[in-house]
Amino acid sequence: MTLIRPLVAEDLNQLIDLYHDAVISQTQGLYSTTQIEAWATNAARGDAVRSALCNGYGLASCAADDSQRIEAFAVLDPIDRLSLLYCRGRSSRQGRATALLLQLEAHARRQGCAQLRTEASQLSRPLLTRLGWDVQEEEVVLFGGATFLRWRMIKALR
């Protein structure tokens, strides 16, 4: 059984490692080597994960045999924006991201949010689409020195 628990400040180093693992292990064929390197090292170089962890509301999906070993995580920052969603390669396609998203949606509803928004990668867009998110627009952004195609998406919560 998978345990889902709130993220805490002490999880930061584990989240940075998980972020790197998720990008390296799951983006081959979707992105160029330059894009993968720029994306994979961003968590360790920048402050995005630390800032989201401190300012947002996040959940961790932990290993069945170890409630401290995080296999996937997701963060709302601010409360109406999915800012981070990452899963270790070894734990992908096990329903962890879906479970995290459903719990974050319920939390956002309780906080009075009528809709969630995000910027989806090629990796996350199919999952979000399956869960009822709609594409609002496509955009090209510069991230870590590389250009990326992504999609602004929303999901109504009511």
For the chain, which residues make up each domain, given as ranges?
3-113
Residues 3-113, CATH architecture: 3-Layer(aba) Sandwich (3.40)
Burial of 47 (0-12, 13-18, 19+ CB in 10 A): exposed
Q: What is the pLDDT of residues 86-141, one digit of tens each?
A: 999 888 888 999 999 999 999 999 999 999 999 999 999 999 999 999 999 999 99
What is the per-residue pLDDT across 21-50, written as a single tens digit (0 to 9) for each?
999 999 999 999 999 999 998 888 878 888
Give CA 70 to chain center in angstroms.
13
pTM exceeds 0.75, yes or no: yes
pLDDT tens, position by position, 55-86: 999 999 998 777 778 999 999 999 999 999 99
How many angstroms separate the CA atoms of 23 and 84, rounded? 12
Give 65's contacts (C-beta < 8 A, 6+ positions apart). Answer: none
